[in-house]
Structure 1
Amino acid sequence: MKRIRFSLKFILALVFCLASVCAYFAHSAAKRRDAIRALQEIGGFSYQHESSVIPEWLRETVGPEYFPGMENIGATYQKTTDAHLAVLARVPELKSLSTNHAWMGSQVGTMDLTDSSNFDDAPLITDAGLAELEAASHLESLTLFHTAITDEGVSRLRYMRNLRNLAIVSNKITDHAIPELIKINTLQYFSAVGTSISDEGVDKIREALPKCKVIGRVNKEKAEPSDATERRSRAI
C-alpha cells in the first residue's frame, strides 16, 4: 500500500489556515463576551428571530460567545453610553440595535416625546457614540431613543451601507439634519417622532427617499384629535 506523503509547505500552509480560523473564532468570541458583559451592566438583552441550529447543551458547555447569536440587541437608554455602543457595535453578526427597550412603548401617542422633563435621566449617547456605530457593518435596523446626538452627528449614519430601518425618537435634531439623512439611500423606514424636524422637513425626506416610509415628528393622536375631542371642541 502506497503511503501518502505531504510536503513541508503543505503542512505549514494547513497549520497556518487552522491557526487563522481559530484566531478568528477566538477574536469573535472575545467581542461577544465583551458585549454580554456590557448588556449585563446596562440591563440589556440579545435575541434571535431564527431558531438556532446549535444545540443548547453545546452552547452552554462551550460558552455562548463562541457561537453567532447576537443579531438583535436591545439596550436601556438610561444606562447606555458611547463606550457601551463601542462594544456592542463590534459584535460580528449584529443586525438590529435599539436603545429604547426599557421605555414604556405603550405610551406612544399619549406622551410628549419632545419634552425632556418627561424623562428623569439626561441622555448619555452623543455624536461620539454614532461614530462608534460605524464598526457595525452589518447593521440593518437602528433605534436611538432620547440621546444627545446633534444634526452634525447624523452625518455618521451615512457610512452604514446596510441600514434599512432608522428611528431617531425624542431627540433634538432639526431640519439641518435632513441633507445628511437623505444620503442614507438604503432606508426603507424612518421615524422622526419626538424630534424638531418640521412637517416640511418630513415632506423633503419623503420626496428625496420615495421608497422610504417616513413617520413625522408629532404623535398621531396629537396631530389628529379623536372623535370625542372633536365633538367637545365643536360643542364649545
Structure 2
Amino acid sequence: MSEARYGFLRANALSLAFGALFLVTLVGQAISGAADVNAQQVANGLPPVSLLDYVTSSSFGVDVMENWQSEYLQFFLYTFATVWLVQRGSSESKEPGKEGTESAREQRMGPHAQHDSPAWARTGGWRTALFSRSLGLVMGGLFLLTWVASSIAGWAAFNSEQLADRQDPVGWVGYLGEADFWNRSFQNWQSEMLAVGSMAVFSVYLRQRGSPESKPVGTAHADTGQTG
C-alpha cells in the first residue's frame, strides 16, 4: 500500500512513535538524573547544578553514550550473525540449510532486480556490493562512533572523580585499560546479548497475534522464519 493512500503519519507510525518515545525517555533521563545528582549535592553540602549544566556534563554524556553504543552493537552483531547462524523454529531466523548470503536471484540483485528495486540493487559492481551490506556497515559505523563518544565521556567523568579524590588524571588511551571503562561496557553489552538470545528462543514457542516479530498463532513450533 502506498504512503499516499494512508497518509504520512499512518505510513510512518512505527518510526514516529518510537522517535517520540525516545525523546520523552531522554528528557526523563535528564530530569531524573539531574534530580539524583542534586540530592547528592545537597547531602554533601554543595550547591545544586542546573539542568543545562547536568545535560552538558560528562556524567550525563557517558550514561547516554554507553546505552547507545550497546544498542548499535546488538543490531550490528545480529545483522551479520543471522546471515550465517540459524535458530530452528524462530521467526527471527532463516530456515536451516539457507545459511549464507543467498544467490543474486534470491536477493533480487543485478539482472534479477525488479522494476521497483532500489537503483543500487540493479546497477551491479561496487554500488550493489556496498548497498547489499549497507545495513550492517551503518550499524557497525554507528557502534564505533558511539563507542568512541562513550569512551571520551567516560574518560572525562573518570578524571573528574580522580581529581576529586586528589589523584592524578589518566590519558584517554590509559583510560581504555581501566577497569572502570570495561565494567561500564560489559554491563551494557551482556544485557543486549541476553535480550537478543531470549527473543530468538522465545519466538520459537511463544506468539503475539498480528506482530511481524512473531509467527502466526497456529504455526508449528518447528516452522522457521515465518512471521505473522
If the TM-score is normalised by the length of the shorter chain, which range does it land in?
under 0.3
Higher strand share: 1
Higher helix share: 2
TM-score, normalisation: structure 2? 0.28
Answer 1 or 2: higher relative contact order, Cα 8 Å, separation at least 6: 2
